[in-house]
Amino acid sequence: MASDGGWITASQIPRDVVAGRYRITGRLGRGGMGTVWRATDELLDRQVAVKEMHLPEYGLSEHESSTQRDRALREARSVARIQHPHVVVVYDVVQQDGRPWIVMELVDGRSLAAVLSEDGPLPPREAARIGAAVAGALRAAHDREIQHRDVKPANVLIEQRTGRVVLTDFGIARIPGSATISETGAFVGSPEYTAPERMMPGGGSAGPESDLWSLGALLCAAVDGHSPFHRESIGEIVHAVAIDDIRPPSAVGALLPVVHGLLDRDPARRMAAAEAMTVLTAYAEYGIEPPTPQLVRRPEPDLGADPGADPGAAADVGGPAGRTPADRAGTPQLPTGGGPGPLATRRGRGRRRAGIAVLTVLAVAAGATAAVLVTRGSGGDPAAATTGAPVVRSTAPATTAGPAKPPASSAPHTAPVPAGSTRVEDPKGFSVVLPAGYVRDPEPPRTYYWSADRGFRFGEREQKPDPRGPYGVMHDQDVAGPSANGYKGYRDGVITRTTHRGQEAALWEFTYDGFPNKPGARRTFDLCWTQDGRMYDLWLSAPIARVEQARAIFDEAVASFRPHR
């Protein structure tokens, strides 16, 4: 959680220490569902955010109040299981003074709402970067049948040092098999960011698509300063959301196709989270403008169409128009561009890749064409992953993302070693740049290096080329899931077909539950490629909360890696 500047006097701070260990030191913010406090975890000596839940007590019997408290605790524990790089980390859920308290990571930064208020609207590409991260967080939540239901700028945090984007405040989330804490007869949420189906009678049962509408409104707010449904009264807001013509601000620019795809009043036609992540990532990192609205969105029903016509025929004319909602988790592709590393973005400032793709984009930039295939692990034939996806060509000029640059990894790394890092000469026959203090820990045929605090683990493996190629190797491990290398709790696996130093390569990203002696969700980045008759595999894993730092370390390691052959 981030500070909203609303500090209070010492006399207003709760005197008690929550759960015997979280000492309250100040207020970070207050919303309709609770107050968020800054606190010190005196057991682990770290700063945390503690949310004091405000539950509807007036007019409720003791039994009803107890039920509401138990429900809030159950929901918070469910949300804690998401464990995604762009979802706030939940450390603990406790009860005190008859109220639930949720203990979360303290994000050192500001909310998107504060950024817009203090600095003004964002450029479209920065808005796309933030939107892609939120879309990834929503996909992870929806995969676990959890709906956020309150996606808005105030609930999106941006870490000051790294630029990491974090979706927070699942206080009114919907959990499978449970009514939500807000279902007491009153609407809870932010009307300017609420999907029209949630405003209708029975709207409490609206599906996860409603979160994607909110993302569309958030993108508009990011580039224009406020939601396109901003009005003077609640009645006018509801009318704008449910009935008025939807007019996105001109500031959305190239993001217009995505906004149109998300702000569709028909939930069945609305762009899915993975699709939104695809085009937003491509634009944020490479300047590849999203395809025109008719390529992203399915057309209005043609009442005169032949009912026996092939529903997939529309894909033959260049778009996902003929796909059913179930097809929207299909085969994706993204451009590699000329970025400085497998994970880094050209825009600098520590901004890193946040995307997972779902449709095909063939990018033509500065006279060079490159393509990347990204697919969610499905257990299917990897050879089939290159077929059946619609092709969308970028119409953006080559100068959109700046002059083309060759990937830093396309040649041996010759740049000076950054301050705080060192070039390691491994006796196995390779060298690589890692932060100073990493300690070697070989486990043949793998070689590991651990950071001093045992938080980061770098790994290297060399073997004979596999006839399946790098993508096939990664695909088999993805299908194996938890049994692959002991990755307990394996999830969120994504494989990207790409190139490295001019050779076929595959990038595998995934989350798992960590090590038996060091529990806690971890994110792993793993690049595999074949070079000079050998297959190399480099990876780096780190705690979820340190994922942005891990991206930078991994990029440097990959770019600097030199086999001594």
Quick one: DSSP state of residue 180? -
- Please list, in sequence order, all residues whose beta carbon lies within 8 angstroms of the beta carbon of residue 321, skipping any fewer than 6 positions away: 294, 295, 297, 298, 299, 314, 315
**HEC profile of 26-75:** EEEEEECCEEEEEEEECCCCEEEEEEEECCCCCCCCHHHHHHHHHHHHHH
Quick one: DSSP state of residue 89? P
**HEC profile of 293-337:** HHHHCCCCCCCCCCCCCCCCHHHHHCCHHHCCHHHHHCCCEECCC
* Length of the chain, in residues: 565
- Please list, in sequence order, all residues whose beta carbon lies within 8 angstroms of the beta carbon of residue 521, skipping any fewer than 6 positions away: 83, 89, 489, 511, 512, 513, 514, 543, 544
Residue with tokens 């003929």: 322
- Please list, in sequence order, all residues whose beta carbon lies within 8 angstroms of the beta carbon of residue 472, skipping any fewer than 6 positions away: 382, 466
Residue with tokens 């057309």: 299
Residue with tokens 């595959």: 506
Beta-sheet strands, E only, within 418-515:
421-426, 430-435, 439-443, 446-450, 457-463, 491-500, 503-515
Burial class (CB in 10 A: 0-12, 13-18, 19+), 327: middle
Amino acid of residue 119: D
Distance CA 448, CA 460 (A): 7
Distance CA 129, CA 286 (A): 11
Instruction: Calculate the alpha carbon distances from 162 to 352, 547, 549 in Å.
Output: 9, 10, 8
Tokens of 298: 């399915």
- Please list, in sequence order, all residues whose beta carbon lies within 8 angstroms of the beta carbon of residue 420, skipping any fewer than 6 positions away: 435, 436
Q: Give the residue numbers marked as catalytic.
A: 150
